Structure 1
Amino acid sequence: MKLIEYADRDMLCIDLANKLAGELTAALMHDERVTLIVPGGTTPGPVFDALCAADLEWSRVDVILSDERWVPEDAPASNARLLRERLLADRAEAARFHPFYVPDTTPEAALPALEEALAPLMPAAVALLGMGADMHTASLFPRGDNLRLALDPKAPLLVEMRAPGVEHTRVTLSARALADSLSLHMVINGADKREALERAMDLPPEEAPVASVLDEASVHWAE
């Protein structure tokens, strides 16, 4: 793990957006299309605001979420809604977004077709993740009902997840799918997240799921 500290959150967002844009540009020099994994939640929003204006060939970028709540895209809890408002705008509006939520069905019924469509897009060239104070990343929750499957080295790309205290069923990329990304970044803010990160470094992934991807990650932190 590489930890990068910033003087403030504004500097973090600008620098991280520039890094992501540079890595996408470099990847596009070698591949016709590249995949970008991004998180939901509130923390990455300002990064998206800067990244969406980056001057690169967004029409050759496939964007997928690290995880999604099984709710319609117009629901306030939808990560896809956040993406459409904050990332898939400006120049990045030309990117191709691949949502996980499928209307009028269940995660169990939708996962096989979602996996089939996702497989050609993997591994991702660039991934950006977040982390919760409970040491989860994506929807890999410490007490998730399918956490063992999601952490398995031979896990499928996508795993359905439910957890105590988590309102909606989630569909999440597995730890394998995340860790296989060619470049992996994590953005966290605040003393509580820094403390959680330090705890996770000494815990097994079953207790701190974020530990399953930390070896490959550059972690960007500001108070």
Structure 2
Amino acid sequence: MHTIVEYPSSQHQAEGLADEVAAQLAQSLADKGRATLAVPGGTTPGAFLTALSKAEIDWAHVSVLLTDERFVAEQDARSNMRLLRETLARNAASAATFVSLYAPAEFPESVLGDIAQAVEAVLPIDVGVLGMGADMHIASLFPQGDRLSEALASDCASVLLPMRAKGAIEPRLTLTAPVLGAAKHLHLLIRGAEKVEAISRATAEHSIENAPVKLLLERPNLTIHIADGELT
């Protein structure tokens, strides 16, 4: 069963999660000389990523990728990679290798093969950190996403899939369930009462397609980090 850690503030959450992730990356570096970190996009993880950027580990041997990306150029304000470069790709962590989930094209399908190849080169994930939407999506595994069933399948052969969903302004690229589930360490970053309530709903939900976060909830290597809300 997963572990739950509750913090008195979002800043404590950011710093506590950064310390734990840094320690796990350091252990992977010691064990095999390299490590791969997957992180979420959006604004919620910004403080965590900024705190992690200061960790004194061997970043030159760490590969970093996003769990998902909006299919927009990095210069776009909605680009997750842009946010990642403004938060994590600074300080000590600027020495890491950052793997982009975007390449210029009209549609993500046109460049999927090349991007997937770059992702495959840094797998498996040693430490995976994910956020969750109030609709219980993780990465870009949205309820009613057009390729959700394929992406959630345990035998999905693709490491990366395009995803389109109601409420998603642009197409996305997302890591698939087998890639996320194979991470050695998993962390779920939850902030606020609305998302805490969504975790409770997901636990009671029978269908993973209605609550994709269920992909993580039964994994013993998952730690849920909660701030600004209490899980009862």
TM-score class normalised by the smaller sequence = over 0.9
2-structure distance, mates of 1:165, 1:21: 34
Corresponding residue number in structure 2 for 1:30: 31
Task: Give the letter aligned to residue 215 of structure 1.
Answer: E
Corresponding residue number in structure 1 for 2:226: 221
3-state secondary structure, aligned to 1:73? coil
1:142 aligns with 2:147: no
1:184 aligns with 2:182: no
Corresponding residue number in structure 1 for 2:200: 198
Aligned residues with identical type, % of pairs: 43
Q: Is the 8 A contact 1:108 1:160 kept in 2?
A: yes
1:151-172 deviation digits (Å, cap 9, x = unpaired)? 0011111011000121010000
User: How far is 1:113 from its partner?
Assistant: 1.7
**Which deviates the most, 6-15 or 190-199?**
6-15
Task: Give the letter aligned to residue 179 of structure 1.
Answer: G
Corresponding residue number in structure 2 for 1:168: 170
Structure 2's unaligned 5+ residue stretches are none
* TM-score (structure 2 length as normaliser): 0.94
1-structure distance, mates of 2:113, 2:106: 12
1:25-59 deviation digits (Å, cap 9, x = unpaired)? 01100112211000001110000111000000000
| Number of residue pairs matched by the alignment | 223
Corresponding residue number in structure 1 for 2:120: 119
* TM-score (structure 1 length as normaliser): 0.98
Q: CA RMSD in A?
A: 0.9
Task: Give the letter aligned to residue 211 of structure 2.
Answer: A
Corresponding residue number in structure 2 for 1:85: 86
Structure 1's unaligned 5+ residue stretches are none
User: How far is 1:104 from its partner?
Assistant: 3.1
Q: Is the 8 A contact 1:175 1:213 kept in 2?
A: no
2-structure distance, mates of 1:60, 1:102: 24
Runs of 4+ in 1 over 2 A off after TM superposition: none
